[in-house]
Amino acid sequence: MTARQRFNLKNRMLVGNVTANLVAAVVIINLVAPFELTVVTYWQFVRIQALSSPILFLLGFLAFVWYERPMRRYIERHHTGRADPSEAPSQVLRRLLNEPFFAVVLDLTIWILAAGFWTTFFWQKGEPAYILRRTFLINLNIGLITSVIAFFLLEHIFQKVLAPFFFPHGRIYEVPGTLRISIRVRLAALLFACNLVPFFATILVYLNLSATDGDPADILERLGDALTTNSLIFIIVGVWLWVLVSTNLSRPFRAIIRTLSRVREGHFDDRIQVTSNDELGYTGDVINQMTEGLKDREQMRLAMMLAREVQQNLLPRQDPQVDGLDIAGTSIYCDETGGDYYDYIRYETGTSEGSPLAVVVGDVSGHGVPSALLMATARALLRQRLSLPGDLAEAFSDVNCQLAQDVGVSGQFMTLMALAVNPVAGAIVWVRAGHDPAILYDPQADRFERLAGPGVALGVDTASRYTLQHRSNLVAGSILLLGTDGIWEACNAYGEMFGKERVLALIKRHAGASAGTIRDRLVIALKDFCGSSDVEDDITMVVIKLDRTAAPHQNTAGKAARTFDSDQSRQA
C-alpha cells in the first residue's frame, strides 16, 4: 500500500464530511437574502464569526478524528504488516459502519450549537426578535442540509473506498451493533432531502423578506429571485443526491444479475463484491454462499461420477462362460456409489479338482461412499484370499478376521454369500455370512428351497468361523437366485414392498427361459412396480441356471437393468 492510498483510506470520510459542511453553508448563504443588523455593526459580526466558526469547525473535526481513531490505528498496523483488514476487530468495523449516522448527529449538533451561540449573541446585543428567529433558522437549515449531504456522501465513500478494503469477503451484515442503512432508510433520507429541506429553506426565505419594512414591490421581486435561486440550487443538489443513491443501488444489482447469469451458465467462480449492510448486501452474501455451495456440489458430483466409474469397473464386465451353466448378473445402485457387490472368482481348493468358479453376492450396511469403500476393501480381501489354497469357509473366516479389525469400531458390516456349482455332479457348496439365503427352484418337483446356513455378517466379530454347506441331486433346469434385500424390499408409491412372493412367481413363470431373460424380467417387474418412486436401496442379483445345453453367451449387463438404472437416475 502506497502512502497516498493509506492517506486516502484514513481521511476520505473526514474530507467527505468537511465537504458536506462547506456545500451546505454555501447553499444557505446563496439562498438567504442579505439582511442588515440593527445593533451589531458589520465588523463586529465579522470579528465574532472569524473567531467562533473556526472553533466550531475544530470541535467537529476533533470529534470526527476521535471517532475514527480505531480505524486509523488499524490501517497503520496493516501498513506495517501486523494486521489483516479482513480480520479487523469488531470495534473498528462497527464504528466504520455507523460513521454516516455519527456524522449526521455530529453535524446537527455543531450547527445547533452555532444557532444557539448566534441567537444568544444577538439577543444580548439587543437585536429584534425577527433577527433572532432568522439567525436560528439559518444555522438549523445549514445543519439539516449538511446532515443529508454527509449521510449520502459518506455512504458512497464507504461503499467505493473502504468496504473493499475492510470487507473483501463481504459478510457486512454479520457485524454486531451496527445501524442498518436499509433501502427504506435510504429512500426516506432522499425524500427528506428533496422535499422537507427545500420546504424549510423556502419558509426561511419568506420569513427573512417578510420581516423587513421595505417597498412591497421590491420585497416581492426579491422573493421571486430568492425562490428561483432556491429552486435551481435544490434541483442541482437533488440530482447529485439521486446520482449517489442510484449508483449505490444499481451497482450491487448489476453485480447480482451478472453473477446469477454466470451461475445459470454453469460458472461458479464469480463473487459479488458486498459493500453495504442493507438488504442488497445480505442478498450478495447469500448468493456468494450459494455459488460456493454449488461449486462444492459440482466438484462433489464430478468426484462421485469418478467414484461410480471406478466402482463399476470393480464389478464383472461380462458374465462367465461355464459349460453346463447359464449365469447372468447385474447391480443397480440407488446413489452414484453403493455397497452391493457381486463377483465371479476362480479359487484354489488345494485338491486335484481344479479351480471351481465361486459366485459371490454381498451387501454392505447402508449405501453411498462409506459403503462403497467397504465394498472395495472386502472385494480385494476376498479375491486375495481365494487365490490361496483353501475352501470357501476358510476364505470367509480369514477375510472376516481382517475386516473386523478395520471396521469393528465403526459399526459397519457386510453380509456375503458365495456358492460354487458342479454342473456335472449336480452339486452345490456354499457359505453364508449373514446374507439372505439363495433361492433354489426345482422345475421337475415345482419346489423352492432356501439355501440357508449358519454365519454372522463379516466385520462383526474377529473370532467368527464359517461352515461349508452342501447340496446335491440338482436336476437339469434348476435355477439359483442370489440377491440382496433391495429386490424384495423395493417399495412403490403406496409404501407396498415388492416381496419375495413376486420374485418366486416370476422365476416359476419364466423357468424355461435363459438366466439373462429371467434377470431382465425381474428388473422390468421391479421397474413397473416402483413406478415413479425412488429406489431406496441398491439392487443386486445373479441368476444361475443348470443347463448343460446352454451355449456360451455375451453379457449385455441387462438392457432392462440399464433402462431401470437410467430412469432412477433421472428421477433422483
Q: What is the pLDDT of residues 18-63, one digit of tens each?
A: 888 887 777 666 555 455 667 777 778 778 877 888 888 888 899 9
Which are the contacts of 483, defined by CB distance < 8 A and separation ≥ 6?
361, 436, 439, 503, 539, 540, 541, 542
The helix (run of H) or strand (run of E) holding residue 545 is strand 539-546
Cross-strand bridge partners of residue 427: 422
137: Cα separation from own chain's centroid: 54
Q: Is residue 387 pLDDT above 70, yes or no?
A: yes
Average pLDDT of 435-457?
Answer: 93
Close Cβ partners of 442 (under 8 Å, ≥ 6 residues apart): 448, 449, 474, 475, 478
State the average pLDDT over residues 224-238: 75
Highest-pLDDT range among 59-68, 269-278, 346-355, 532-541: 59-68
Dump the DSSP string for 175-219. -TT-----HHHHHHHHHIIIIIHHHHHHHHHHHHHHTS-S-HHHH
pLDDT for residue 483: 93
The amino acid present at 394, given as its one-letter code, is E
User: What is the predicted pLDDT for the residue at 478?
Assistant: 94
**Of 281, 63, 64, 71, whose CA–CA distance to 186 is shortest?**
281
Q: What is the pLDDT of residue 325?
A: 93
List C-alpha distances in Å: 262 to 168, 202, 255. Answer: 20, 50, 11
Is 183 a residue whose pLDDT tops 60? yes
Q: Give every CB contact of residue 293 below 8 A, 6+ residues apart in sequence.
A: none
The pLDDT tens digits of the residues spanning 456-473 come to 999 988 889 999 999 998
The grid cell for 334 is: 440407488
Query: What confidence category does residue 570 fall into, taking pLDDT thresholds of 50, 70 and 90?
Result: very low
- Kindly list the distances between the CA atom of residue 275 and the CA atoms of 5, 78, 103, 286, in Å, as whole numbers in the listed order: 19, 20, 19, 14
Q: Does the pLDDT at position 225 exceed 60?
A: yes
Say which residue, 212 or 475, is predicted with more confidence.
475
The single-letter code of the amino acid at 91 is: Q
Q: What's the confidence (pLDDT) of residue 556?
A: 41
pLDDT of residue 169 exceeding 50: yes
Tell me what percent of the residues of the chain surpass a pLDDT of 90. 26
State the Cα–Cα distance between residues 570 and 572, nearest whole angstrom.
Answer: 5
Confidence of residue 71 (pLDDT cuts 50, 70, 90): confident
Angstrom distances, CA of residue 71 to CA of 76, 100, 166, 330: 9, 14, 10, 67
Other CB atoms within 10 A of residue 463 CB: 9
Task: Classify 414 as helix, strand or coil.
Answer: strand
Burial (CB count within 10 angstroms: exposed 0-12, middle 13-18, buried 19+), residue 89: exposed
pLDDT of residue 550 exceeding 60, the answer is no
Region 235-256: mean pLDDT is 81
List the domain boundaries for the chain: 3-279, 315-571
pLDDT tens digits, residue range 93-122? 888 889 989 999 999 999 899 889 988 988
Residue 236 has pLDDT above 70, yes or no: yes
Q: Which three cell numbers stand for residue 61?
A: 473535526
Position 190 pLDDT exceeds 70? yes
Is pLDDT at 515 greater than 80 in this prediction?
Answer: yes
Cα 8–Cα 10–Cα 14 angle in degrees, nearest 5: 90
CB of 393 closer than 8 Å to CB of 431: yes
Q: How far is CA 83 from CA 8, 67, 71, 90, 166, in A?
A: 18, 20, 12, 14, 11
Q: Which helix (H) or strand (E) holds 252?
A: helix 216-264
CATH code of the domain occupying 315-571: 3.60.40.10
Least confident of 172-186, 365-379, 423-437, 554-568: 554-568
State mean pLDDT over 2-29.
Answer: 82
Q: Provide the pLDDT for residue 332.
A: 85
Average pLDDT over residues 391-419: 89
Asked if 437 and 452 touch (Cβ cutoff 8 Å), the reply is yes
Q: What is residue 327's predicted lDDT score, i.e. its pLDDT?
A: 95
Whether residue 505 has pLDDT greater than 60: yes
CA-based end-to-end distance of the chain = 52
Lowest mean pLDDT among 148-152, 256-260, 564-568: 564-568
3-class state of residue 433 by DSSP: strand
Confidence of residue 350 (pLDDT cuts 50, 70, 90): low
Mean pLDDT for the chain?
82
Opening angle at CA 251, ends 249 and 253, nearest 5: 70
The more confident residue out of 533 and 115 is 115
pLDDT at 557 over 60: no
pLDDT at 554: 42
Which one is predicted more confidently, 456 or 142? Answer: 456
CA torsion 110-116-117-123 (nearest 10°) is 170
Q: What's the pLDDT score for residue 432?
A: 95
Q: How far is it, in rounded angstroms, from Cα 115 to Cα 148?
A: 18
Q: Write the burial class of residue 365 (CB in 10 Å: 0-12 exposed, 13-18 middle, 19+ buried).
A: middle
d(CA 22, CA 193): 17
pTM: 0.57
Tell me, what's the pLDDT at 451?
Answer: 94
Q: Is the Cβ–Cβ distance between 438 and 339 less than 8 Å? A: no
The segment with the largest mean pLDDT, out of 25-39, 62-76, 124-138, 233-247, is: 62-76
